[in-house]
Amino acid sequence: MPFPSEETVRDTVILGSGCSGLTAAIYTARANLKPLVIEGHEPGGQLSITTLVENFPGWPDGVQGPELVENMRKQAEKFGAEMEMGHLVEADLSKSPIELNFGSKVVKTRTLIVASGASARWLGLPSEQALIGHGVSSCATCDGFFFSGKEICVIGGGDSAMEEAMFLTRFATKVYLIHRSASFRASKIMLDRAKEHPQIEFLTNTVVEEVLGVEEKEVRGIRIRNTESGEVREIALSGFFLGIGHIPNAKFFEGQMDLDDDGYIRSKDNVFTTYNGKVLDGVFCAGDVQDRRYRQAITASGSGCMAALEVEKYLEEHGR
Ligand code: NDP
């Protein structure tokens, strides 16, 4: 069915301004769809809090995360994308056009790309937050390389922590795996592999009280406490990796979209959204909000491109 041709109805709105949202914006803007990009609480997404990115193709000397995302933003704006800060208050995905209420205004749109990302879970210690990008990282694939020949720790007891710890042994001479209890969520095979690794030392029933190095502006060590014995001690190390999971920013769509048990969008073909198993009309998704597995800047960008191409196809099929 053709859409109403009201000028007030947008062709596409993109929720999120990380690399998936901005790549979708570049593609839809170049297709002359004048996308509106809504920047949420973390403009630029996870890249905006990283430092050097060395694995984004096309940057042989690496690029700072904030610079990479700022360039994407400029590129999208150059082709006519509009950026606005906003927080969704209410959305009705069943309507056509879709209605998005941002409190100060209601936006009507023929298509929506949900690219709201996932946020790494942090311990929440002030010292940890102060040292993000200076030895504290939530992404081993991104930052492991910087810790060649150094000692580091990984926090967590799930598959992510095991995978990170194993990966980081390629660079670090020693990896402390620190877990708050003695039972693990990690699959047996991954846990056994990590336990058998000569460079990994497990410290269970252990919590981190502080990341040391705030004054020096780089991680120098950690202060930990054994929850059984109460013993407190310090360990000197240079890297502090979080492997305690991610929180997808999709909770808002609960009840209107199929989400998995951890709150990730259950995408179909990595780009379509569904509700009760049925594809949602005009609602697409991209990036980490629907990807628990790869979580890389380049895969998020790739998926933003896919969503944009589907939006173009959808609008064309509906007579735009
Ligand atoms: P999980 O939820 O499985 O594990 C999170 C871990 O972090 C738990 O050990 C938890 O401890 C700990 N944790 C959570 N919050 C805190 C906190 N505030 N302080 C200290 N520790 C904390 O998350 P993962 O990211 O590891 O895995 C998510 C999903 O992705 C799983 O289904 C996993 O199997 C899958 N995955 C698969 C991989 C693979 O197959 N290659 C790789 C990575 C993930 P506690 O147990 O005490 O609650």
- Residue 53: the pLDDT is 84
Q: Residues, the chain, total?
A: 320
Which residue matches tokens 């020096």?
216
* Among 160, 190, 192, residue to substitute to test ligand 1 (most atoms within 8 Å of Cβ): 160
Q: Which of the listed residues 244, 247, 292, 293 should we mutate to test ligand 1's pocket, taking the one with most ligand atoms within 8 A of CB?
A: 244
Say if ligand 1 is within 6 A of residue 160 CB.
Answer: yes
* Residue 143: active-site member: yes
Domains identified in the chain and CATH numbers: 9-119+246-317 (3.50.50.60), 122-242 (3.50.50.60)
Write the burial class of residue 48 (CB in 10 Å: 0-12 exposed, 13-18 middle, 19+ buried).
middle
Q: What does the pLDDT look like over 109-152, one tens digit per residue?
A: 999 999 999 988 999 999 999 999 999 999 898 899 999 999 99
Q: What is the largest CA-CA distance in the chain?
A: 70
CA-CA distances (angstroms) from residue 276 to 114, 254, 264, 288?
18, 12, 15, 21
260 vs 304: CA distance, rounded Å: 20
User: Are 199 and 151 in contact, with CB atoms under 8 Å apart?
Assistant: no
Phi-psi region of 122 (alpha: psi -120 to 50; beta: other; left: phi over 0): beta
Q: Which amino acid is at 79?
A: F
Residue 158 CB–ligand 1 contact under 6 Å: yes
14: confidence class by pLDDT, cuts 50, 70, 90? very high
- Asked whether the predicted pLDDT for residue 7 surpasses 80, the reply is no
CB of 123 within 6 A of ligand 1: the answer is yes
19 is catalytic: no
**Amino acid sitting at position 84:** E
* Contact call for residues 109 and 8 (beta carbons, < 8 A): no
Helix 65-78 vs helix 19-30: angle between axes, to the nearest 10 degrees? 20
Q: Assess whether 142 carries a catalytic annotation.
A: yes
Is pLDDT at 2 greater than 70 in this prediction? no
Q: Which residue has the least CA distance to atom 33 on ligand 1?
A: 159
Q: How confident is the model at residue 104 (pLDDT cuts 50, 70, 90)?
A: confident
Q: Where are the alpha helices (DSSP H) in the chain?
A: 19-30, 65-78, 126-130, 140-143, 159-168, 188-196, 297-317
Does residue 1 carry a pLDDT above 60? Answer: no
∠ CA(201), CA(207), CA(213), 5° rounding?
85
CA 16 to ligand 1 centroid distance, Å: 25
